[in-house]
């Protein structure tokens, strides 16, 4: 059973960690939230002597060495740290984003802060970082739904005004088929394709309807094209439709396979074994796009946090013995703002998380929020305009980015007025608020920064904003 398997995994993990203490840190977030950049910068700063004043064990000199080691799980792809770092530092391009699960182990040799602790422990902690798409977490509710319910829910949502036009092609195709007719692979493939296109269009669209499952339809990993992903909801299902050999039965079987062979193993083998979790959110992009996208981000965050809810969820009982004790929700890309706005961004994220926690009926794990930039692509300066001294950020906009009709070539440094966040975070959540129309952020993407070298020609580590606070919250207590 699932329970026995988890108990076994947990036991195996525990006995391993008696020999050599380890901590599993999950890194997630919807696509392009900044997972790859975060992990690369965290590792680089740890092994390359980064500036991390608020990471206590490091700052006080108790960490003697951090180094990469082979990961314990042979079946999970390794996080391609070296490749990503090369892209960031040498080519100054952003690395390829997360498309599936991957893992990396970094081991930290440290000295305990207390003399008692120094006698007791060997002072070695292996941090297993697990990177995975947040989209996959959105499948959890499916475990509690039959194929009929999943179909009915999908059609109901597609009829809503916000979804209707995007869903049109799929709805038309779905209305042409008869669920009770004999199953046919071409029909199944066609329906799965137009349904997937609808889900992906919702995500690409500025309305960003990113929260629709099945998650692997958005982010298939290595399952692209497999039968477990070749299904779609069917309209007006009746019990009589589920006769042997009918299209409805075939779709139902594949939906159940998806749950059994894709969703459950993912939660059991990966999520159930995490000790700590960071959830990255692209709040800057949401704020830049306006109210509907902020609302969608809140919904996605609610669904994601529900997966980590201790105890409560019946869907997970048995499947999932909770271990996660600390969750950090971090808004990345704070380097698009002047530092005066960093605390404001954090206040907005705090409100977002409070609302999500309330909706997810969440309590138990220790949750904190942070506005950060895993890699700081800009620096701050001021510009004098008449009598006013105005704060600006300076960076190299990516090739093709535009401001006021000017198109950038990807080589030229430019100063930009970053725009302000409101002092009162509630403003973001109130409908009909002028913020989105008038004061929208001027959000353009920058190239990764040029890394300075020391006089001896040694390259410095990747600059960041508040990465040290993230480390302190996520692993600081295990290095005390």
Q: Is 393 in the site for ligand GDP (CB under 6 A)?
A: no
Scan residues 230-259 and list those touching ligand GDP (CB under 6 A): none
Residue 37: how many CA atoms within 13 Å on its side-chain side?
31
* Burial degree of 54 (CB within 10 A; 0-12, 13-18, 19+): middle
By CB under 6 A, tell whether 98 contacts ligand GDP.
yes
In the window 408-467, what residues touch ligand GDP (CB under 6 A)?
A: 445-446
Q: Which long-range contacts (CB under 8 A, 24 or more apart) does 155-158 make?
A: 155/233, 155/235, 157/212, 158/198
Q: Check residue 94 for interaction with ligand GDP (CB under 6 A).
A: yes
Q: Which residues contact 54 (CB under 8 A, 6 or more apart)?
A: 466, 468, 469, 472
The residue (of 35 and 469) whose beta carbon lies closer to ligand GDP is 35
Residue 23, phi then psi, degrees to nearest 5: -140, 130
Smallest separation (angstroms) from ligand GDP to the CB of 431: 28
Under 8 Å between Cβ of 273 and 10: yes
Residue with tokens 């329970």: 3
Shortest Cβ 394–ligand GDP spacing (Å): 13
Pick the closest to residue 140 from 387, 291, 315 (CA basis): 315
Q: How far apart, in whole angstroms, are the C-alpha atoms of residue 167 and residue 180?
A: 23
Judged by CB under 6 A, does residue 107 bind ligand GDP?
no
Q: Considering only 61-69, 110-118, 331-339, 411-419, which stretch makes contact with ligand GDP by CB under 6 A?
A: 331-339
Sheet architecture: strand order including 124-131: 63-69, 102-110, 124-131, 22-28, 276-281, 326-331, 366-371
335 lies in the site for ligand GDP, by CB under 6 A: yes
Q: Which one of 48-56, 160-168, 329-337, 408-416 is the stretch in contact with ligand GDP (CB under 6 A)?
A: 329-337
CB of 120 to ligand GDP, least distance (A): 38
Query: Shortest approach of ligand GDP to residue 463 CB, angstroms?
Result: 10
Least distance CB 399 / ligand GDP (angstroms): 13
Cβ proximity to ligand GDP, 199 vs 375, nearer residue = 375
User: Closer CB to ligand GDP, residue 234 or residue 283?
Assistant: 283
Which position among 23, 104, 356, 373 is part of the footprint of ligand GDP (CB under 6 A)?
Answer: 373
Asked whether position 203 contacts ligand GDP by CB under 6 A, the answer is no
Q: Judged by CB under 6 A, how many residues of this single chain contact ligand GDP? A: 20
Closest CB to ligand GDP among 435 and 443?
443
Q: Where are the alpha helices (DSSP H) in 214-341?
A: 215-218, 247-257, 264-269, 283-289, 291-307
Distance CA 207, CA 281 (A): 16
Measure Cα distances from 66 to 27, 105, 378 in Å: 19, 10, 27
Distance CA 206, CA 209 (A): 8
Q: Is 92 in the site for ligand GDP (CB under 6 A)?
A: no
Here the tokens at position 434 are: 């002028």
Question: How far apart are alpha carbons 318 and 5 in whole angstroms?
Answer: 10
Distance CA 301, CA 353 (A): 7
Distances (CA, A) of 459 to 30, 66, 141, 248, 335: 32, 18, 47, 60, 21
State yes or no: residue 97 binds ligand GDP (CB under 6 A). Answer: yes
CB of 443 to ligand GDP, least distance (A): 10
The verdict on 147 binding ligand GDP (CB under 6 A) reads no
**Is residue 303 at the binding interface for ligand GDP, with CB under 6 A as the rule?**
no
Does 330 interact with ligand GDP (rule: CB under 6 A)? no
How many other C-beta atoms lie within 10 A of the C-beta of residue 457? Answer: 6
401 binds ligand GDP (CB under 6 A): no
Q: Report the residue number, 78 or 145, with the smaller CB distance to ligand GDP.
A: 78
Show contacts with ligand GDP in window 6-65 (CB under 6 A): 29, 31-37
Contact with ligand GDP (CB under 6 A): which of 203, 309, 333, 436? Answer: 333
Selected from 357, 374, 462, 475, the binder of ligand GDP by CB under 6 A is: 374
**CB of residue 143 vs ligand GDP: minimum separation in angstroms?**
25
Task: Determine if 342 is a binding residue for ligand GDP (CB under 6 A).
Answer: no
Q: Look-up: residue for tokens 């939660």?
A: 267
Q: Which residues bind ligand GDP (CB under 6 A)?
A: 29, 31-37, 94, 97-98, 332-333, 335, 373-375, 377, 445-446
């Amino acid at each position: 059973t699932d329970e026995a398997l988890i108990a076994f995994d947990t036991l195996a993990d525990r006995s391993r960690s008696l020999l050599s203490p380890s901590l599993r840190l999950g890194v997630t977030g919807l696509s392009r939230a900044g997972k790859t950049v975060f992990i690369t910068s965290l590792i680089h700063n740890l092994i390359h002597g980064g500036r991390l004043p608020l990471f206590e064990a490091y700052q006080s000199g108790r960490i003697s060495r951090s180094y990469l080691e082979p990961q314990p799980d042979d079946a999970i792809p390794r996080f391609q740290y070296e490749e990503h770092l090369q892209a960031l530092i040498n080519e100054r391009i952003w690395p390829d984003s997360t498309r599936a699960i991957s893992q990396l182990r970094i081991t930290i040799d440290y000295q305990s802060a207390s003399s008692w602790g120094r006698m007791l422990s060997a002072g070695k902690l292996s941090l297993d970082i697990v990177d995975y798409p947040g989209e996959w977490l959105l499948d959890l509710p499916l475990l509690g739904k039959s194929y009929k319910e999943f179909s009915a829910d999908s059609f109901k949502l597609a009829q809503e005004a916000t979804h209707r036009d995007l869903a049109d092609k799929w709805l038309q195709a779905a209305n042409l088929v008869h669920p009770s007719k004999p199953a046919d692979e071409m029909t199944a493939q066609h329906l799965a394709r137009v349904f997937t296109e609808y889900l992906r269009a919702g995500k690409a669209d500025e309305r960003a309807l990113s929260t629709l499952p099945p998650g692997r339809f958005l982010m298939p990993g290595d399952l692209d094209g497999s039968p477990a992903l070749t299904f779609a909801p069917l309209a007006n299902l009746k019990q009589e439709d589920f006769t042997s050999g009918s299209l409805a039965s075939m779709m139902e079987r594949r939906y159940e396979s998806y749950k059994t062979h894709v969703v459950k193993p993912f939660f059991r083998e990966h999520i159930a074994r995490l000790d700590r979790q960071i959830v990255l959110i692209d709040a800057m992009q949401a704020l830049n796009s306006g109210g509907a996208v902020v609302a969608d981000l809140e919904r996605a965050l609610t669904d994601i946090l529900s997966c980590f809810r201790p105890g409560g969820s019946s869907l997970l009982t048995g499947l999932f013995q909770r271990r996660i004790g600390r969750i950090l929700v971090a808004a990345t890309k704070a380097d698009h703002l002047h530092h005066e706005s960093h605390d404001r961004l954090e206040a907005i994220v705090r409100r977002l998380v409070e609302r999500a926690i309330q909706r997810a009926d969440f309590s138990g794990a220790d949750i904190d929020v942070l506005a950060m930039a895993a890699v700081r692509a800009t620096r701050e300066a001021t510009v004098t305009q008449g009598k006013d001294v105005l704060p600006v950020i300076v960076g190299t906009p990516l090739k093709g980015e535009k401001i006021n009709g000017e198109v950038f070539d990807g080589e030229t440094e430019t100063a930009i007025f970053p725009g302000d966040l409101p002092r009162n975070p509630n403003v973001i959540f109130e409908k009909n608020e002028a913020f989105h129309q008038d004061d929208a952020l001027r959000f353009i993407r920058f190239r990764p920064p040029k890394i300075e070298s020391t006089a001896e020609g040694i390259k410095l580590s990747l600059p960041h904003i508040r990465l040290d606070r993230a480390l302190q919250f996520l692993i600081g207590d295990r290095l005390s």
